[in-house]
Amino acid sequence: MKIKHTIFFFMVILLVFSFSLNSCRLFLPEDEGPGEIETEETIDKVTEEPGTVEGDPESSQIIENEGEEEEKETPQVLEEPEEEKDIIVDSPLPNQVISSPLVITGEARGTWFFEANFPVRLLDGNGEEITVYYARALDEWMTEDFVPFQSEIEFEKPETDTGFLVLEKNNPSDIREYDDEIIIPVRFE
């Protein structure tokens, strides 16, 4: 039993040593290690011109490295990504004049649906509910991709000239962190 522990201990030390040795190669001078290692000066020069695309010959720049001219590709600098939306409403557009029957179209990620639908509520300008209905998926909804949807709701014109169309993510779990909605301001005809 003592031999098994000794062998196990030896294997762990060997494994740690090999990882340490591999990580030390990153800090070896160029002529002592495999591959090319960039110095801080080279890295500074390469990152001086942001906004270029890697692999694009027009984005290459010449870098002087120890008296030699060497062509390097500048790294691609990406702008901060726009927040991804899980639902896109094609109709009605914000502040659009609507009347009954109202046809609602767009696409939403499959995660918005449960049993191929999600709730749609129409509110007046005071936040009072006029009607509730469902938008239904027009394609396979059990996906994380976008799925087209449609809803047609009938309603009586409220006393207010404006209101809100609320599309809610269907959340049968009732776990609040999974809730989501989009609110579209509308005007009544």
pLDDT digits 0-9 by tens, 95-124:
999 999 999 999 999 999 999 999 999 999
According to CATH, the topology of domain 87-188 is: Immunoglobulin-like (2.60.40)
Determine if the pTM surpasses 0.95: no
**Beta-bridge partners for 68:** 65
For the chain, the structural domain boundaries read: 2-73, 87-188
Q: Tokens 């070896």 appear where?
A: 28
pLDDT of residue 174: 83
Query: For residues 38 and 163, which has the higher predicted lDDT (pLDDT)?
Result: 163
pLDDT of residue 114: 94
| Mean pLDDT within 136-163 | 95
What's at 50, amino acid-wise? P
> What is the overall mean pLDDT for the chain?
74
pLDDT reading at 156 higher than 50: yes
| Mean pLDDT within 9-32 | 53
In 3D space, the residue among 127, 103, 117 whose CA is nearest the CA of residue 169 turns out to be 117
| CA angle centred on 125, ends 123 and 131, rounded to 5° | 15
